[in-house]
Chains A and B, each alone.
Chain A
């Protein structure tokens, strides 16, 4: 067997691209691409990759990073879970009953275009500077993608499948669990993925402008006390967490549905 040319190996390409990025970063930070300060203060603009790595270590040892990450994660998961618990059943009910749809749809039209971040001031006024406010805006913002994808899924359910299940003696509960819900799965995955993205965005925004804890708080804290390295570490952490969620939750889910995905696109 002939060896594959190494530069065609995706693993090599990934390492090369990351190495190029780190090198550019390093050069930018020592040459002062973003402006020049006295050498003592250069870290304020763009600390070198090495300094950032050291900060990761320092923050890991003091437990600050994990503590604030945990706080944000808790808020995102709680708010997102609430959005799913409300959005999915409501979406199903809207798809099944004209009446529910007629009552809920006008509200969706009014509230859906409001960006989640716009709720921050009101949330702080109502719930104070803590978890409640953060969870509230996360729920509000991730509710709509979950809800709208569920209703779309309900519209796309194949009526013939329901007829077939009925002729085989299925009762309404069985129609829901054995036909509707499986039909919805691809739509739910899409809705959850978008909802989760929204959740992270708004929690960061809320923590940056008010709620004094979590990753968003660390982002603005780093800037406030002149520790740009902390800000950068927080950014990297955020990226890593979202990547991890994508690959440990959504990608496997999607792979499971791949077998019948094709049959879906009708």
Chain B
């Protein structure tokens, strides 16, 4: 049961087939039911491609992915997807956005209202049900998108850098928010990010990926309870370990000093970045 990805590869041909890009090469991964798994890696390492394949929006060239033993070949409401760009319909109100998938399923208006009400309450946006997306902040838009996905009661939730477009404060806040939502609505989550701290804060396991070709470098179990403290000793220890994965990758690359991970500049700052502040301190900034 759960998601099983075996021997999955995907190659893109560009410049009329002159150039091959191995977006994914021999990916093996198993995700258990109700597990929160994070994929981290620099841009170009195939994270989005892998999510799209899981969503059924792209087809793999080799290998396959299954959900509960069924081969994934096309999109299905069982597999919800959250996009970095929110992907809300600008001509629909917040409520109508949440009800979109229910309309597709042919639910009656009373049923739609009941369900949208439930999930708008879950993400704390009942008061904005009649607003239009352009009237909302980025964090609120993403909460609408989350409510919209959950309204279809999916088995898994695929999230592609969902907080990537948010400012640092909203980002921390949304990380707490998604932890809370996940506690209330347990799902299998595959969460893509290029923010290592975010991955460690959220995931049961962190899958470290590297580009060219897109591969899984290592899988790191987090083993911390929730809610997590970003400054705890254990958190920082795991963080060092994940950073080390990328540093190792660099030295493996031989004498080349090219920054193949695209992350080199972040490494020295590793010890500093997490010490800034805690979200608990920040919460007082939101009157909401």
Contact = CB atoms under 8 A, between A and B. Distances in A.
B104 A263 contact: no
B101 A263 contact: no
Contact of A170 (B55, B80, B104, B148): B104
A176 to B, nearest CB: 13
Contacts of B76: 167, 169
Interface string B83-97: 101010111100000
Contacts of B103: 178
Contacts, number: 68
Contacts of A167: 55-57, 75-77, 79-81
Contacts of B55: 163, 167
A80 B76 CA distance: 41
Contact of B100 (A168, A259, A262): A168
B274 to A, nearest CB: 32
A259 B101 contact: no
A156 to B, nearest CB: 12
A152 B105 CA distance: 31
Given A169-B75, A169-B77, A263-B134, A164 B87 contact: yes
B134 A262 contact: yes
Given A178-B103, A179-B89, A263 B57 contact: no
A20 interface: no
B132 interface: yes
Given A166-B57, A168-B101, A160 B87 contact: yes
Given A169-B76, A174-B104, A260-B133, A163 B83 contact: yes
Interface of B: 55-57, 75-77, 79-81, 83, 85, 87, 89-92, 100-101, 103-105, 132-134, 148, 152
A14 to B, nearest CB: 33
B90 A260 contact: yes
B133 A168 contact: no
7 tightest A-B contacts by CB?
A: A263-B90, A168-B101, A164-B87, A260-B90, A263-B134, A169-B77, A167-B81
B77 A163 contact: no
Interface string A201-230: 000000000000000000000000000000
Interface of A: 158, 160-161, 163-170, 174, 178-179, 182-183, 185, 257, 259-260, 262-264
A167 B85 CA distance: 15
7 contacts: A158-B85, A160-B83, A168-B104, A170-B104, A260-B91, A263-B132, A264-B90
Given A259-B132, A262-B134, A164 B81 contact: yes
Contacts of A166: 56-57, 75
B100 A165 contact: yes
Contacts of A163: 55, 57, 81, 83, 87
A43 to B, nearest CB: 54
A156 B103 CA distance: 25
A161 B101 CA distance: 13
A168 B152 contact: yes
B81 A260 contact: no
A169 B101 contact: yes
Nearest to A179: B89
A154 B282 CA distance: 43
Contacts of B85: 158, 160
